Homo-oligomer: A and B are copies of this chain.
Amino acid sequence: MTTMIQVAEEVRGEDVDILARVPMFAGIDAPTLARMAQVARVVRVPRGTVLFSQGDDAKALYVLLEGQVGLSGKVEDLGDDTVVEILDAGEAFVAAAVLTGKPYLIGATALTPARVLELPRQALLDDLRASPDLALAMLGSLARHFRLLVREVKDLKLKSASQRLALYLLGLTPRRRGTVIVRLPHNKGLIAARVGVRPETLSRAFAQLKGHGVVVDGQNVAIADLAVLVDYCHEGWENV
């Protein structure tokens, strides 16, 4: 829970390349991107830094240039805390909050040392008005993201903890059949919060998946047959 000591940096040339590869900005012309980079600020933060907290007014769109960031929500009286999303480099976040101008519903914390680009709200809004392509790209990006959330809501309502864990594991590989060994990208406590259960329950969910060909060894998870897991989750056509 490091406090917010940020080191502002120059925006590097390669950062613009990263921007160009962010799905949200796919296909945007170079001048627009350069203009965005112009007004953006890049900060390098140590692990544990709180980029912003739930309830803060949305003042910028963020793009994760390097590292990992967790988006988590909590109940007022603290204690409980759930991870809504875990982001990797090349992903933009909190677009919805910035567009509505309302306070963040979630907070963002650096899970590793990270480099983050901040695009001020007003600059984004100006760019959106100036570049119809940007608006369309964001619309597509937000729509894809929206669907992930819809799936999440359905899973939370309809699937068990072990099934959700299985879905999480399936999300770690693009393959859908055969044997595979995946490496857990986070410690289990964080994964538990992501899946929406307590760490103890996660342990037991892993134990349960043993019956479906899942063997855990530290950070490595061996899955004997992905198709078995897919079946266990009653996943049909949804993995499109």
List residues of A whose CB falls within 8 A of some B CB.
55, 73-77, 80, 82, 84, 95-97, 99-100, 102-103, 105-106, 128-129, 132, 135-136, 138-140, 142-147, 149-154, 156-159, 196, 234-238, 240
Contact = CB atoms under 8 A, between A and B. Distances in A.
A139 B128 contact: yes
B149 A75 contact: no
Query: Most B CB atoms within 10 A — which of A106, A143, A147?
Result: A143
A150 B103 contact: no
Copies of this protein in the complex? 2
A236 B76 contact: yes
A143 B100 contact: yes
A84 to B, nearest CB: 6
Contacts of A80: 158
10 contacts: A73-B150, A75-B234, A95-B143, A97-B147, A102-B147, A106-B154, A128-B136, A135-B139, A139-B142, A142-B146
Given A84-B154, A99-B139, 6 more contacts: A84-B150, A100-B143, A100-B144, A102-B240, A135-B136, A156-B157
List 9 tightest A-B contacts by C-beta distance, closest first: A99-B143, A96-B146, A73-B154, A132-B132, A96-B143, A135-B135, A156-B156, A149-B149, A82-B157
